[in-house]
Chain A
Amino acid sequence: MPQSLFDKLWSIHEIADLGQRQSLIHVDRIFLHERTGSIALKSLEQAGRTIRSPESVFCTVDHIVDTRPGRGDSTPVPHGAEFIAATRESARRAGIRFFDVNDPEQGIGHVIAAELGIVLPGTSVVCPDSHTCTLGSLGALAWGIGSTEAEHALATGTLRVARPRSMRVFFGGAVPAGVTPKDLVIHLISRFGSRAASGYAVEFAGPAVDGMPVEGRATLCNMAVEMGAFTGMVAPDATTLRYMRGREYAPAGALWAQAVEHWSALRSDSEAGFDRQLDIDCAVVRPTVTWGTHPEQAIPIGGRVPDPASFEDPHRVRAAVRALEYMELAPGTPTDAVRIDAAFIGSCTNSRLSDLRLAAGFLRGRQVAPWVRALCVPGSSAVKRAAEAEGLDEVFRLAGFEWREAGCSLCFHAGGESFGGQRVISSTNRNFQGRQGPGARTHLGSPLTVAASACRGYLCAAEPAA
């Protein structure tokens, strides 16, 4: 019987069918961070349990670690230092790899798990963080869990998982110049809604995905959770192999050859069935930005903020009314009339080297508008070093951006630094009420859109090169 990529990943990791659609699934890698992993480690210790395979567990500091230069344990987040110290102590006692504040390999978990080759095609990985699905970009089965489930995975090396249904999202057509993977995924979510993939494992496929670098695929998979997906994934191909080869934790020599042979089967058979298929014609997608308080509330740049009455679903109408009130936007406002106070490039969605190159390419020789505060936060310490080696830090600084240490930073407000009360164009994944600070009004867009908007001081797209 023909199988999808997801069917194959599931069967590789299925230890036992527990009945009632539940299976016991083997977990190959566990990633933790100081915000939600700390409590899982602590709780496990308090229960007198130990980690089944400490060598497969990795922990980073990304969520509340300071990203200002010259950082140590102390952070603007109240009690933040206690989270970092508690995590470090728990990690040491547990004997797991801990990427400490000034470790050269530190970074956002979902970024370093890929760049170090900790997560490989065909592996299963969980992390108490909803954006773990990012790692599906390598052809891994990667999904976000809570802290209690993390405790379960640590203690048993497994999780009890209800089998999701399968979905394929097919990106057909040619991608116009200036349209990035971020635009494609925001377009997808706004077209089909916040629940479209709820209960599904989503495979992203089609010519646009085939031609996309791994880092772009990471952006696509990252936001699968914003449409409710269990996970997102892309079948590993030659692009994936080129990306993986030589990474610190990736296999080498004969083991690499053996792994490659195994990975080559990890693709959906041509006759494989999916429970649902969505199609996107990339040719009609434009640089896209959100206007509301969920990623599903988005429009092409150059368009106008919709009238809530234009939605058919009464719930969407009410949600739009509330969102516009919070965002302080009137229906019909053209996007280019929306003045911003701040611009943010970073997060597990868009903080990799290719994202920074894209933004810097626009910023070279340009200046951020005088009223805009702009920040660039690399996704990992390695990304930061690589960007500096190319002189990108200078481009950002000269344009008026702050250049930071790696971490999640202002993707969300944890009580420390804040975009409170400000309107922000942000390369992140969530425009929820208060996400970036009390009263902060977030517009999501690509790193290119953030760069262009920062310079104009109003929402806008970068003019595509002619």
Chain B
Amino acid sequence: MKPQPLTVHRGIAAPLLTRNIDTDTIIPSREIRRVSKRGLGDGLFAGWRYREAGSREPDPEFVLNLEEYRDASILLAGANFGCGSSREHAVWALRDFGIRVVLAPSFGSIFHNNCTLNGILAVVVEDASLRRLAEWVEADPRRNQLEIDLRNRVIAWRSADTLEFDIDPARRRLLLQGLDSIAVTLKHAAAIDEFEAVDRNARPWVYRLPDLPPT
């Protein structure tokens, strides 16, 4: 499936600056009920968002339940956001909820890749800058929206203030163009065939596998 391209995104940013927010927290395993990438937004942060496991009664103190953050499309997160389990459901849940950008000092590496492949921009922003953004946003979340410009690699905030960011060029290209990475790689099919032909001679034991047992 081709991800939706992302060039410039403007929206409400919700602060969730705890360190080591893991993918079990982003979507508890119990909320994964179908072999599907859809319909997971309801389970996003379920352990924090609802009063009790399995219930849908909102915990009024959780940031995404506050009136002013309900339509947030940007998360300001703590270091190592998305660590832990590789479950891509965490990213599908964020996307389904409407999150398009996450800013954090660092990310779990599998989560970071999963974001990119699903059209969510995960930007590394150093801690002090993130705190400044969070303070400004918190003063008036609906008015103080952030604008993330991936083309020019800048975050626009407070009147004329901007914050530049770095992003891996390969990630940036995938996101800007909304590329299907399988299709991109299949352009290298000849190189893959050639590699395997040579490798089969060099490491024949890797390619000699027993037949499937009869079923």
Q: How large is the interface on A (under 10, 10 to 19, 20 to 34, 35 or more residues)?
A: 35 or more
**A39-B35, A39-B37 given; A249·B209 CB < 8 A:** yes
**A20-B170, A157-B192 given; A319·B35 CB < 8 A:** no
Chain A's nearest CB lies how many Å from the CB of B65? 18
The answer to the question of A71 belonging to the interface, with a C-beta cut-off of 8 Å to chain B, is: no
The answer to the question of A262 belonging to the interface, with a C-beta cut-off of 8 Å to chain B, is: yes
Q: How large is the interface on B (under 10, 10 to 19, 20 to 34, 35 or more residues)?
A: 35 or more
B25 touches A43 (CB 8 A): no
Chain A's nearest CB lies how many Å from the CB of B143? 28
> Given the complex of chains A and B, what is the CA–CA distance between A53 and B113 in angstroms?
24
**A318-B19, A433-B25 given; A82·B53 CB < 8 A:** no
Q: Which of B74-108 contact A (CB under 8 A)?
A: 78-80, 83-88, 91, 106, 108
B109 touches A230 (CB 8 A): yes
Q: Which of A149-183 contact B (CB under 8 A)?
A: 149, 151-152, 155-158, 160, 162
B20 touches A194 (CB 8 A): yes
**A155-B182, A157-B192 given; A434·B170 CB < 8 A:** no
> Given the complex of chains A and B, what is the CA–CA distance between A170 and B91 in angstroms?
35
A199 touches B20 (CB 8 A): no
B168 touches A413 (CB 8 A): no
For A415, the closest partner residue in chain B by CB is B30
The answer to the question of A232 belonging to the interface, with a C-beta cut-off of 8 Å to chain B, is: no
For B215, the closest partner residue in chain A by CB is A92
Residues of the B chain whose Cβ atoms lie less than 8 Å from the Cβ of A158:
185, 188, 192
> Given the complex of chains A and B, what is the CA–CA distance between A18 and B33 in angstroms?
38
A432 touches B24 (CB 8 A): yes
Which one of A42, A97, A148 contacts B35 once the chains associate, using CB atoms below 8 Å?
A42
A194 touches B168 (CB 8 A): no
Residues of the A chain whose Cβ atoms lie less than 8 Å from the Cβ of B33:
78-79, 415
For A18, the closest partner residue in chain B by CB is B170
Central interface residue in B19, B186, B192, by most chain A CB within 10 Å: B19
Which of A21-29, A205-213, A235-243, A453-461 lines the interface with chain B? A21-29
A120 touches B206 (CB 8 A): yes
The answer to the question of A353 belonging to the interface, with a C-beta cut-off of 8 Å to chain B, is: no
B29 touches A195 (CB 8 A): no
> Given the complex of chains A and B, what is the CA–CA distance between A439 and B51 in angstroms?
12
Which of A123-131, A368-376, A379-387 lines the interface with chain B? A123-131
> Given the complex of chains A and B, what is the CA–CA distance between A435 and B83 in angstroms?
13
Residues of the B chain whose Cβ atoms lie less than 8 Å from the Cβ of A149:
113-114, 117
The answer to the question of B126 belonging to the interface, with a C-beta cut-off of 8 Å to chain A, is: no
Which of B5-13, B133-141, B155-163, B196-204 lines the interface with chain A? B196-204
Which one of A18, A129, A251 contacts B86 once the chains associate, using CB atoms below 8 Å?
A129
What's the count of A-B pairs with C-beta under 8 Å?
A: 195
Which one of B28, B169, B203, B204 contacts A20 once the chains associate, using CB atoms below 8 Å?
B169
Which of A139-147, A280-288, A327-335, A337-345 lines the interface with chain B? A139-147
**A145-B110, A194-B20 given; A47·B205 CB < 8 A:** no
A195 touches B206 (CB 8 A): no
Residues of the B chain whose Cβ atoms lie less than 8 Å from the Cβ of A304:
none
A155 touches B186 (CB 8 A): yes
The answer to the question of A16 belonging to the interface, with a C-beta cut-off of 8 Å to chain B, is: yes
Residues of the B chain whose Cβ atoms lie less than 8 Å from the Cβ of A24:
185, 188, 191-192
Which one of A123, A145, A194, A415 contacts B29 once the chains associate, using CB atoms below 8 Å?
A415
B185 touches A152 (CB 8 A): yes
A36 touches B29 (CB 8 A): no
**A20-B170, A26-B195 given; A15·B110 CB < 8 A:** no
Chain B's nearest CB lies how many Å from the CB of A24? 6
The answer to the question of A412 belonging to the interface, with a C-beta cut-off of 8 Å to chain B, is: yes
A258 touches B205 (CB 8 A): yes
Which one of B24, B29, B202, B204 contacts A255 once the chains associate, using CB atoms below 8 Å?
B204
Residue numbers of A with Cβ under 8 A of B are: 12, 15-16, 18, 20-22, 24, 26, 28, 35-36, 38-39, 42-43, 47, 49, 55-56, 78-79, 82-83, 86-87, 92, 95-97, 120, 122-123, 128-130, 144-149, 151-152, 155-158, 160, 162, 194-195, 198-199, 226, 228, 230, 248-249, 251, 255-256, 258-259, 262, 293-294, 296, 315-316, 318-319, 322, 412-415, 420, 430, 432-435, 438-439
Residue numbers of B with Cβ under 8 A of A are: 1, 18-20, 22, 24-25, 28-37, 47, 52-54, 78-80, 83-88, 91, 106, 108-111, 113-114, 117-118, 127, 168-170, 181-182, 185-186, 188-189, 191-192, 195-196, 199, 202-206, 208-210, 212-213, 215
Given A97-B212, A296-B20, A434-B53, 6 other A-B contacts at CB below 8 A? A78-B30, A82-B34, A147-B88, A315-B19, A415-B29, A420-B53
Which 6 pairs show the lowest CB-CB distances between chains A and B? A415-B30, A438-B53, A251-B205, A146-B114, A146-B88, A414-B29
A-B contact pairs, 7 of them (CB 8 A): A26-B196, A26-B199, A146-B117, A228-B109, A255-B205, A413-B30, A433-B24
